[in-house]
Amino acid sequence: MISIKVDTRATMSALSNATRQIPYAISKGINDIAVGLQKHERGVMESVLDKPTKYTLNSLFVAKGSKANPTATVGLKDVPKHSTHYLEPMVKGGRRHKKGNEVAFGNRWLTPSYAAAELGLIDQYGNFKRSVLQQLLSYFSAAERSSGYSANSTNATRAKLAKMKRTYWDSKTGKMKTVTKKQLIKDPTRGYKTIGGKQFFISMGRGSGGSGNQHLAAGIWQKSGVHGVDVKPVLMQAKAPTYSKRFDFYGEAQRFVNKHGAAIMSAAVAQALKTAR
């Protein structure tokens, strides 16, 4: 958060003949500087951050000053009460706090897998889709721990997502075919158990499990196909991410005020003199 103050002694002198406009000129100049700074910082974010979302670009607020208190503030919106803003590691460097979904999934650091884009799970900004993330939280009955409301999947919902069926190899066509209801009535065990949609499961990491024979890396996986043999990673457990300082929020603010502050204040003074009565 940045509080903007400017040396107003020259301004006071210029306004000696229009004393009633002094508070207005000062507060307007300060507020115009703050609005200009907000726009400048947005431009900096666009250039130094990787595909910033609209939410990120609009994450700065301006609290304007008044004639009685000519101090304007430019800061980050929605700072959590018991944590730090998600952009703070970009401003100061270092580690970020775990996200709500990471806490819900066993307090682990998570990152999208190499297959996430192939599976259509990544949005235009390169982030994991929020809708899919909510689906995963619901699937593993972790939604309440993450978002504070009940949105957990039922067995029926999971079954609908899996689209279970039985298939068999048709040697005439050289393709896998679905066992019909009539065929299942005659022989319920015909064909192979097949996941027509998808199922999700969690791996605790290589060597884990009751028999210690888990060969998949720790994370959330998706399976489909005959006996669920088509397995692909979705979200992988990772080491705590460490960020380098990329967004020089405070330095950019100082440079902007040094470069443009006087001109903006002078323009406010000129308008005050013009409108003086």
- pTM here is 0.68
Interatomic CA distance for residues 181 and 164, integer angstroms: 13
Is pLDDT of 148 > 90? no
User: What are 211-222's pLDDT values in tens digits?
Assistant: 555 788 888 999
Q: What is the average per-residue pLDDT within 24-33?
A: 92
Lookup: tokens for 261: 């502050």
Task: Report the distance separating Cα 21 and Cα 92, nearest Å.
Answer: 40
Order of strands, edge to edge, in the sheet holding 164-170?
110-112, 230-237, 219-226, 192-203, 164-170, 175-178
Q: What are phi and psi of 231, to 5 degrees?
A: -110, 130
- Quote the mean pLDDT of the chain: 83
Nearest to 170 by CA among 160, 182, 179: 179
Joined tokens for residue 146: 């993450």
pLDDT at 83: 72
Query: Is residue 229 within a helix (H) or strand (E), and if so which, with residue range?
Result: none
pLDDT higher than 80, residue 120: yes
Do residues 96 and 105 lie in contact, with contact meaning Cβ atoms separated by under 8 Å?
Answer: no
Give the model's pLDDT for residue 146: 46
When pLDDT is averaged across residues 171-190 and rounded to a whole number, the result is 81
Condensed to tens digits (0 to 9), the pLDDT of residues 62-95 reads 999 998 999 999 999 987 776 778 899 899 998 8
* Mean pLDDT value of segment 177-182: 83
Alpha-carbon distances of 88 from 46, 82, 131, rounded to whole Å: 16, 14, 25
